[in-house]
Amino acid sequence: MPPGGAFWRPTSGGVAVAVKVQPKSRRPGIQGRAPAVEGERLRIGVAAAAEGGRANLAACATLARALDLPASAVGVLSGQTSRDKTLHVAGDPIVLAPRLEAL
């Protein structure tokens, strides 16, 4: 099993990905990596507002698209109401590792 990257780590049944979500972004999509106190995070811009969980759904869908996975494969593990979140990506960490590192 891979040790994990700077912003992700293997978990049971997939990987946990540390992200920073920018709601109402003018540039929706994966925006690279951002330093954080706890370590590096993947930046995700979404057009949706942070109301009613719309930004969370958009962030999950954006990451799923970037990894060529169905939207149902990505969900919020922690940080439901924060811009700093941990998303869970279901799948084999060995298969997901190169896709994550390419982001």
Q: What is the CATH number of the domain that holds 92?
A: 3.30.1200.10
Point out which residues pair with 70 in neighbouring strands.
none
- How many folded domains does the chain comprise? 1
pLDDT digits 0-9 by tens, 62-93: 999 999 999 999 999 999 999 999 999 999 99
Residue 3 forms part of a structural domain: no
pLDDT of residue 39: 83
Residue 1 forms part of a structural domain: no
Average pLDDT rounded to a whole number, residues 35-50: 91
The answer to whether the beta carbons of residues 63 and 51 sit under 8 Å apart is no
- What average pLDDT is seen over the chain? 92
- The whole domain housing 18 covers 8-101
pTM of the model: 0.91
Residue 2 forms part of a structural domain: no
pLDDT greater than 70 at residue 1: no
Closest CA to 97 of 19, 12, 1: 1
Residue 77 forms part of a structural domain: yes
